[in-house]
Amino acid sequence: MLSYRPTVAPGSSGRLAVLQRHLSAVPLSGQVTSTVYPTNFCYTLDNNFLTREQRQFYEENGFLVIKNLVSADDIERFRKEFERLCKKEITVPGLLIMRDIAISKSEYVPDQKAITKLQDFQEDPELFRYCSLPQIVKYVECFTGPNIMAMHTMLINKPPDAGKKSSRHPMHQDLHYFPFRPSDHIVCAWTAMERIDRSNGCLVVIPGTHKGTLKQHDYPEWEGGVNKMYHGIRDFDLSIPRVHLVMEKGDTVFFHPLLIHGSGMNKTAGFRKAISCHYASADCHYIDVKGTTQENIETEVVELAKKRYGLSGLTLKDTWMVRGRLINGERTNL
């Protein structure tokens, strides 16, 4: 029997519906689905790796936490590589280094205290090793099938909030950024590099929203400003009950790209680190996002590519084609 130590999220209502038999249980706040499950699964594949209970949980909720999946030794290696990159001891082609909007240019120094996120580390052999860890790939294959592409990589270094609440990440759906489909063959693996809870800004999810559609995203109108590319769902209802994922170092959550999620402020004095990769089946296909809700992110990404590399005439598809790396099987479409 597994037990929860739930706390009620601000704005949530009703009592917690506790799942008593989820093999990857984590302390949660908010409500999770506890309905009768179907016999046919839409969001996982029949490869006999996930238990029936795990498949049922993901089917209804759109996420699945696996405890202690990544070793402390691996996490320490990723941490050291992150520090080397922050100190500019090494350079990596295509790596996007980001800092919080609250950090002024005059305060910038080559140190991890100024860096909030590394994106697109596919050309860094040490960090990219995370994406091909066998224990992670085994789970990924349950969602994508055997032909697996690593499409988007991040190491997040959520800073202590500077008082402007800019360390928050608005509630969003990752599919907003991706011009490839079908969404059910895309999954994110997100690993805690230390204990992550509500005090330092854990992930917040709305279970079951992976069954919905892609919503309109824009920059939220926050008084303290919003970090670059931090789009959120337009007119998001803050009263919707949420689940806070409390995770220990090495715990990994797999979640669907339509799952609505975000993260709160880091109210501690330390930095909160996590490493992640979005995977997709190599059999997925690209779409044209012009005339869709994703057109605004295409405009922003293309402008950034033009500014950084002097490239014009690109599409969102073009920017993703150069990032993808084959992890397993054959590179068919992506």
Could you read off the pLDDT of 107-123 as tens digits, one per residue?
445 555 678 899 999 99
- Least Cα distance to 148 among 331, 293, 333 occurs for 331
Q: What pLDDT, on a 0 to 100 scale, did the predictor assign at position 30?
A: 56
Q: How far apart are CA 305 and CA 317, in angstroms?
A: 12
Task: Give the E-state strand segments of 120-160 in sequence order.
Answer: 148-158
Whole-Å CA distances, 201 to 67, 195, 208, 282? 19, 11, 22, 33
Kindly report each contact of residues 288-293 with a partner whose C-beta sits within 8 Å and lies 24 or more positions away, as own/partner. 288/179, 288/315, 288/317, 289/179, 289/316, 293/176, 293/214, 293/215, 293/216, 293/217
Q: Which segment of 104-108, 188-192, 327-331 scores lowest on mean pLDDT?
A: 104-108
Query: How distant is the alpha carbon of residue 326 from its chain centre?
Result: 19
Burial bucket for residue 88 (CB in 10 Å: 0-12, 13-18, 19+): exposed
Mean pLDDT of the chain: 85
Least confident window among 11-15, 137-141, 237-241, 302-306: 11-15
Query: Which sign does the torsion angle of CA 25, 26, 29, 32 carry?
Result: negative
Find tokens 């360390």 and name the residue: 167
pLDDT at 22 > cutoff 70:
no
pLDDT for position 108: 45
- At the top level of CATH, the class of 61-328 is mainly beta
pLDDT of 302 above 70: yes
DSSP state of 9: P
Q: Compare 63 and 240 and report the one with higher pLDDT.
A: 63
Task: Tell me phi and psi for residue 63, to 5 degrees.
Answer: -150, 160
pLDDT of residue 7: 38
Average pLDDT rounded to a whole number, residues 298-317: 86
What is the arithmetic mean of pLDDT over 21-35? Answer: 49
By the 8 A CB rule, do 246 and 28 touch? yes
pLDDT at 242 over 80: yes
Domain ranges of the chain: 61-328
In angstroms, the CA 193 to CA 215 distance is: 30
Summarize pLDDT for 120-167 with one digit per residue, the tens.
999 999 999 999 999 999 999 999 999 999 999 999 999 888 776 667
Confidence of residue 227 (pLDDT cuts 50, 70, 90): low
**Torsion over CA of 137, 285, 204 and 108, rounded to 10 degrees?**
90
pLDDT mean over 12-25: 38
What pLDDT does residue 269 have?
93
Which tokens belong to 313?
A: 């005439």
How much is the pLDDT for 58? 98
CA distances from residue 97 to 82, 138, 228, 323 in whole angstroms, order as listed? 11, 30, 11, 15
- Please report, rounded to a whole number, the percentage of residues in the chain having pLDDT higher than 90: 64
Q: Kindly report whether the global pTM for this prediction surpasses the value 0.75.
A: yes
Give the dihedral sign, CA 37/43/48/53: negative
Tokens of 187: 């999954």
Concatenated DSSP letters for 17-70? ---S--TT-----S-----PPPSS-SSS-SSS-S-HHHHHHHHHHSEEEETT-S
Which one is predicted more confidently, 166 or 319?
Answer: 319
pLDDT of residue 5: 34
Sequence-distant (≥ 6) Cβ neighbours of residue 301 within 8 angstroms: 316, 319
> Hey, what are 233's tokens?
């769902």
Q: What is the pLDDT, as a whole number, of residue 32? A: 66
Higher pLDDT among residues 179 and 20, named by residue? 179
